Amino acid sequence: RCATADATSVAGSVSTSDTQCRLDRDELRGVCQEPDLEGAVNLLDEMLRRRGGNGSSGQLAPEEQAAVLQCYVDALSLASLRRGHRLLSKSTSRYSGIAAPIVHRIATLYCKLGAPADARRVLEGASRPAPGKPADAAQAKRKEAYEKVRELHEEIRAAGYVPDTRFVLHDIDEAAKERALMYHSERLAIAFGLVSTPPGTPLRVMKNLRICGDCHSAVKLIAKVTGREIIVRDNKRFHHFKDGGCSCGDYW
């Protein structure tokens, strides 16, 4: 009873009337009654292609996804819900994906039917970034930021920076200590800001630990060589870096 009520609320929340479904509910019910899952997917794809040929979008609208889910949970069966979920996943993966309200309702239904592991997989899958341009762009930006860190390191070395390896407490050689300092979190954040914002834009970085003495010296020079104002808020105070100096007067 709970599962039926929940699925009904999905259909009601996404669509206020049956006439709003762009595919007839009888057609959708026929798809759901197809004994073979692949046959159901093929039939649904054929219906979507037919609709696309008429100038409409070749994808399941959220209210249609709700209608498919309703047809499966009427059986009050975990196996039926899983089959409906698989049908939605196969039918929408090449289009826009399952609508967020439907994803959350599927997870709720899994929980109410005693399958919390399935619910967790549904939510984890929805939160995972889709493959394609967004992920590629993020990876490219990350690579650009690391390259910028190395470039800044060379520039500030030329401007007189000497790494203070006393701030590296690990028992490693001097070269490794210098590399560890170069990739401190505030420097990575600053590098990311430099490659992500127009020239002259002030950068603001917040950190939950105190900035180390070596990074304090390095950021002063980074502000100088880049011509940027850099504001770092650590767990003690604000540091306003500009033109090679800091508002704290090197006392913090």
Over the stretch 87-106, which tens digit does the pLDDT of each residue have?
777 666 544 567 778 788 88
Over the stretch 62-94, which tens digit does the pLDDT of each residue have?
766 776 676 666 666 787 778 777 777 766 654
**Residue 132 confidence (pLDDT):** 53
Over the stretch 229-248, which tens digit does the pLDDT of each residue have?
999 999 989 999 999 999 99
**Residue 95 confidence (pLDDT):** 46
N-to-C CA span, the chain: 64
pLDDT of 58 strictly over 60: no
Lowest mean pLDDT across 128-132, 211-215, 239-243:
128-132
Cβ atoms 191, 148 nearer than 8 A: yes
The half-sphere exposure of 93 on its side-chain side, counting CA atoms within 13 A, is 8
**Residue 55 confidence (pLDDT):** 40
pLDDT of 169 strictly over 70: yes
75 φ, ψ (degrees, to nearest 5): -80, -10
Mean pLDDT (the chain, rounded)? 77
pLDDT classification of 191: cutoffs 50, 70, 90: very high
From residue 161, how far is each of 9, 166, 186, 213, 234 by CA, in Å? 64, 15, 17, 12, 22
Q: Cα–Cα distance between 35 and 148 in angstroms, integer?
A: 57
The half-sphere exposure of 179 on its side-chain side, counting CA atoms within 13 A, is 6
Q: Which residue has tokens 């997989």?
A: 121
pLDDT classification of 141: cutoffs 50, 70, 90: confident
3 state SS of 183: coil
> Model's pTM, two decimal places?
0.49
Closest CA to 105 of 243, 13, 208: 13
The residue among 156 and 170 whose pLDDT is bigger is: 156
Instruction: Tell whether the torsion through CA atoms of 76, 77, 83 and 88 is positive or negative.
Output: positive
From residue 43, how far is each of 11, 23, 61, 134 by CA, in Å? 22, 12, 16, 31
The DSSP output letter for 250 is T
Cβ atoms 229, 223 nearer than 8 A: yes
**Residue 44 confidence (pLDDT):** 64
Closest CA to 59 of 31, 32, 90, 25: 90
Over the stretch 22-35, which tens digit does the pLDDT of each residue have?
455 566 666 666 55
CA angle 231, 232, 236 (to 5 degrees): 130
Instruction: Average the pLDDT over 27-44 and give the result.
Output: 60
Dihedral over alpha carbons 93, 99, 103, 104 (to 10 degrees): 160
pLDDT of 127 strictly over 80: no
